[in-house]
């Protein structure tokens, strides 16, 4: 029987604790990626590659509360805060910033697994109830269920193919995607099997993304520059305030 492993991002700077926690979770049908500081943790959490984020508060480079605040503004991935600081104010602040749950250290590995599964169940129930599938980056909001993309609330004129391209970029903000990666993710999005990358697709993606870029700029001035081209590499969606 094939087990559908849920993907966990563990943002923890204590290497021994991270190793023990990852090993335990891997024995309970999870795959685990570890990030050892807040900056890396935020970048990986925004990649769209994880089902849940376990986020320590006391982290180097960027603290967990700051990471949680920004992550919640830009992603709906479930967040479970972890901290040796058990004061009520820390728990309240973490939850007010958008964390889905809070677990004080030292914690029982069995309780951690139970909390993760509960958070994932709540997330699945919310999605089933609302039918929501929303991605955002800066002023951009992409709503897959309504098949609608807006910049500062103004709708963009996009074809179905162009909308799918934007949805893929919005699923990996600030992450460079090559044309081949975009091609394969587009096939997966449409329920098609992976295929060898045809160079002619390269040009098609370029043409359509140029039209997506124009549509974003046409909807609102803040849409200009959201899609960045890295010549010879690929494309990246970035918040407007990070333009050079």
- CATH number of the domain to which 212 belongs: 1.10.10.10
Query: Residue 128's pLDDT is what?
Result: 41
Asked whether residue 2 carries a pLDDT value surpassing 70, the answer given is no
Specify whether 70 is located in the same domain as 104: yes
Specify whether 208 is located in the same domain as 120: no
Specify whether 157 is located in the same domain as 185: yes
**Sign, CA torsion 44/47/51/53:** positive
Among 102, 130, 158, the domain boundary falls at 130
Q: Tell me: the pLDDT tens digits for 141-176?
A: 898 877 889 998 888 988 888 888 999 999 888 888
Among 130, 147, 162, the domain boundary falls at 130
* Residue range 17-23: mean pLDDT, rounded: 95
**Do residues 212 and 162 make contact, with C-beta atoms less than 8 angstroms apart?**
yes
pLDDT band at residue 127 using 50, 70 and 90 as cut-offs: very low
Domain interval for residue 61? 6-130
Among 130, 158, 187, the domain boundary falls at 130
Query: Residue 123's pLDDT is what?
Result: 56
Q: Is there a domain that residue 188 lies in?
A: yes
Average pLDDT, the chain: 83
Task: Sort 202 into a burial class: Cβ within 10 Å, 0-12 / 13-18 / 19+.
Answer: middle
What is the model's pTM?
A: 0.53
Highest mean pLDDT among 43-57, 134-148, 212-226: 212-226
Task: Sort 99 into a burial class: Cβ within 10 Å, 0-12 / 13-18 / 19+.
Answer: buried
Q: Tell me: the pLDDT tens digits for 175-189?
A: 888 888 888 888 777
Specify whether 157 is located in the same domain as 52: no
Query: Residue 203's pLDDT is what?
Result: 80
């Amino acid at each position: 029987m094939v087990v559908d492993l849920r993907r966990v991002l563990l943002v923890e700077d204590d290497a021994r604790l991270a190793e023990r926690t990852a090993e335990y979770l891997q024995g309970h049908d999870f795959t685990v990626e570890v990030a050892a500081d807040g900056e890396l943790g935020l970048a990986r959490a925004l990649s769209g590659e994880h089902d849940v984020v376990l986020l320590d508060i006391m982290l180097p480079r960027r603290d967990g509360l700051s990471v949680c605040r920004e992550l919640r503004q830009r992603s709906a991935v479930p967040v479970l805060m972890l901290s040796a600081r058990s004061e009520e104010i820390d728990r309240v602040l973490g939850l007010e910033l958008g964390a889905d749950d809070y677990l004080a250290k030292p914690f029982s590995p069995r309780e951690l697994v139970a909390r993760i599964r509960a958070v994932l169940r709540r997330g699945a129930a919310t999605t089933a109830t609302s039918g929501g599938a929303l991605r955002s980056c800066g002023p951009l909001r992409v709503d897959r269920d309504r098949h609608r993309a807006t910049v500062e609330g103004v709708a963009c004129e996009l074809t179905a193919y162009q909308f799918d391209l934007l949805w893929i970029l919005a699923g990996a903000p600030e992450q460079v995607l090559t044309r081949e990666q975009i091609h394969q993710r587009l096939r997966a999005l449409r329920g098609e099997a992976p295929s060898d990358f045809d160079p002619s697709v390269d040009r098609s993606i370029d043409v359509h993304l140029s039209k997506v870029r124009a549509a974003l700029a046409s909807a609102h001035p803040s849409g200009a520059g959201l899609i960045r081209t890295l010549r010879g590499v690929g494309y990246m969606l970035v918040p407007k305030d990070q333009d050079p």
